[in-house]
Amino acid sequence: MTATDIAALARPSGTWHFPSPFGWRTLLVAIVAFMVLFRTGADVEIGPAIFESGKGIAAVAGLADDSQVARGFGTILVRMFPPQLAEITEIGRIAGFDRDRLPLFARVETQTLVVQSLDPETMRMVARATEREVLVEPFGYLRQVVAKLIETLEIATWGTLLAVLIGVPLAILGARNLSPHPLLVILSRCVVSLLRSVPELISALFFVLAYGFGPAAGVLALALHAAGFLGKFYAEDIENADPGPQEALTAVGSNRLKVLRYAILPQVLPQYVAYTLYILDRNVRMATVIGLVGAGGIGMELKGRYDLYQYAHVGTILIAIFVLVFAIDQLSSWLRRRLI
């Protein structure tokens, strides 16, 4: 303890004072930040967005007469519920249909349709009733959505696995305390930054052009972007590892691989598991988004149904995505508790 500290402790309590929590510099930074937010807020129209959102909430609560936002959401929600579970297909469109070998729980029904057609005698539109036979599968569409969800999960899993395989060597080469040469550090960090700077949705567009529509484009898009994140996080953890064990192993002549195996990995492995589980959780959600551009998964189904204005099908897809993301989150939490 220095003489200044002893003198400070010896002062009467009435003379003690806490330092000011902010000064003129803090005030200046706050003013500049407010001006920047005010200017950029006008560019992104945050004011009208907040006003319309508040008006919509007031309309739902009965405090306002009308709101465009409330009407829009209300129309979509009414069309989305109840969710579509069954699949109805006209029998005439099913090739090789066999009435004696129907799918499980399926049945054949006769539907009456009323269509408007032109009467050639009176030249007026008249309503005519027609009948058609359809195959009704009570859970046919739900089964289709589950199959697409499984494909989405497979895309996310393979994207994460490839990201780990790419990210680990990039991290080893990019860590200053482990890389064999400083130039490799710069080169590795350039590659990691490049991979991280291209969003999955953009790279998926190019991969769809190169590989065609399907899950392969989604796997590569997710893998490259996630490898950028994992390469950065893994390298930072290697650099922040306790240098004591590394110096001890180096002093007895151990090479870099032994230092990595016995001094660094035991320290960073829990963080690596946490990062990888987070990337898996994120890839599941992003696999849904990149499907919108044709990169496979449930996103392609969502885009198709939305373009056909089949909002009941869209409601089923959104509920299924929520269930999948919730299940992955619970599984990740369980794995973290078990492994970390």
Asked if residue 4 belongs to a domain, the reply is no
In the chain the beta strands, taken as DSSP E runs, fall at 87-90, 107-119, 124-137
Provide the pLDDT for residue 147. 93
Asked if residue 17 belongs to a domain, the reply is no
Provide the pLDDT for residue 6. 62
Provide the pLDDT for residue 11. 62
Q: Do both 211 and 333 map to the same domain?
A: yes
How far apart are alpha carbons 242 and 16 in whole angstroms?
A: 40
Query: Is the pLDDT reported for residue 281 higher than 90?
Result: no
Provide the pLDDT for residue 130. 84
> How many structural domains is the chain composed of?
3
Across 311-325, average pLDDT:
91
Asked if residue 9 belongs to a domain, the reply is no
Tokens (6 digits) for 213: 């529509």
Q: Do both 149 and 229 map to the same domain?
A: yes
Q: Do both 159 and 221 map to the same domain?
A: yes
Q: Do both 243 and 101 map to the same domain?
A: no
For 89, which DSSP code?
Answer: E
Query: Is the pLDDT reported for residue 191 higher than 80?
Result: yes
Q: Do both 73 and 212 map to the same domain?
A: no
Of the two residues 166 and 214, the one the predictor is more confident about is: 166
Contact 263, 241 (CB under 8 A): yes
Provide the pLDDT for residue 330. 87
Across 19-37, average pLDDT:
87
Spatial CA neighbour of 230 closest among 279, 283, 172, 179: 279
Q: Do both 133 and 149 map to the same domain?
A: no
Asked if residue 38 belongs to a domain, the reply is yes
| Full strand arrangement of the beta sheet holding 87-90 | 87-90, 124-137, 107-119
Asked if residue 155 belongs to a domain, the reply is yes
Provide the pLDDT for residue 334. 85
At residue 135, φ and ψ (nearest 5 deg) are: -100, 120
How far apart are alpha carbons 220 and 224 in whole angstroms?
A: 6
How far apart are alpha carbons 200 and 290 in whole angstroms?
A: 7
For residue 149, give Cα distances in angstroms to 30, 80, 285, 299. 47, 19, 11, 9
Query: Is the pLDDT reported for residue 273 higher than 60?
Result: yes
Query: Is the pLDDT reported for residue 291 higher than 90?
Result: no
At residue 112, φ and ψ (nearest 5 deg) are: -105, 125
The model scores a pTM over 0.75: yes
Residues 6 or more apart from 210 whose CB is under 8 A from it? Answer: 217
Asked if residue 106 belongs to a domain, the reply is yes
Across 168-185, average pLDDT:
92
pLDDT band at 223 (very low <50, low <70, confident <90, very high): very high
Q: Do both 165 and 211 map to the same domain?
A: yes
Provide the pLDDT for residue 150. 93
Widest CA span of the chain, in angstroms?
113
**DSSP string over 116-139:** EEEETTTTEEEEEEEEEEEEEETT
pLDDT band at 14 (very low <50, low <70, confident <90, very high): low
For 177, which DSSP code?
Answer: T
- Give the residue numbers spanning the domain of 65: 25-79
How many C-beta atoms surround the C-beta of residue 159 within 10 A? Answer: 29
Q: Which helix (H) or strand (E) holds 193?
A: helix 182-197
Tokens (6 digits) for 276: 């990888």
Provide the pLDDT for residue 252. 86
Average pLDDT of the chain? Answer: 88
One-letter identity of residue 171: A
For 108, which DSSP code?
Answer: E
Query: Is the pLDDT reported for residue 118 higher than 90?
Result: no
Q: Do both 92 and 190 map to the same domain?
A: no
How far apart are alpha carbons 151 and 258 in whole angstroms?
A: 39
How many C-beta atoms surround the C-beta of residue 125 within 10 A? Answer: 10
Asked if residue 114 belongs to a domain, the reply is yes
pLDDT band at 7 (very low <50, low <70, confident <90, very high): low
Q: Do both 169 and 65 map to the same domain?
A: no
Cβ-count burial of 148 within 10 angstroms (0-12 exposed, 13-18 middle, 19+ buried)?
buried
Of the two residues 6 and 51, the one the predictor is more confident about is: 51
pLDDT band at 5 (very low <50, low <70, confident <90, very high): low
Last residue of a domain, one of 59, 79, 99: 79
Q: What percent of the chain has pLDDT over 90?
A: 40
Provide the pLDDT for residue 2. 58
Across 175-202, average pLDDT:
92
Provide the pLDDT for residue 16. 67
Q: Do both 167 and 282 map to the same domain?
A: yes
pLDDT digits (tens, 9 = 90+) for 246-256: 888 888 888 88
Provide the pLDDT for residue 313. 93
Q: What percent of the chain has pLDDT over 70?
A: 94
Provide the pLDDT for residue 325. 85
Asked if residue 145 belongs to a domain, the reply is yes
Q: Do both 117 and 202 map to the same domain?
A: no
Query: Is the pLDDT reported for residue 53 higher than 80?
Result: yes
Our measurement of the distance from residue 56's CA atom to the centroid of its chain's CA atoms, rounded to an integer in Å, reads 27
Terminal CA-CA length for the chain? 40
Query: Is the pLDDT reported for residue 109 higher than 80?
Result: yes
Q: Do both 104 and 92 map to the same domain?
A: yes
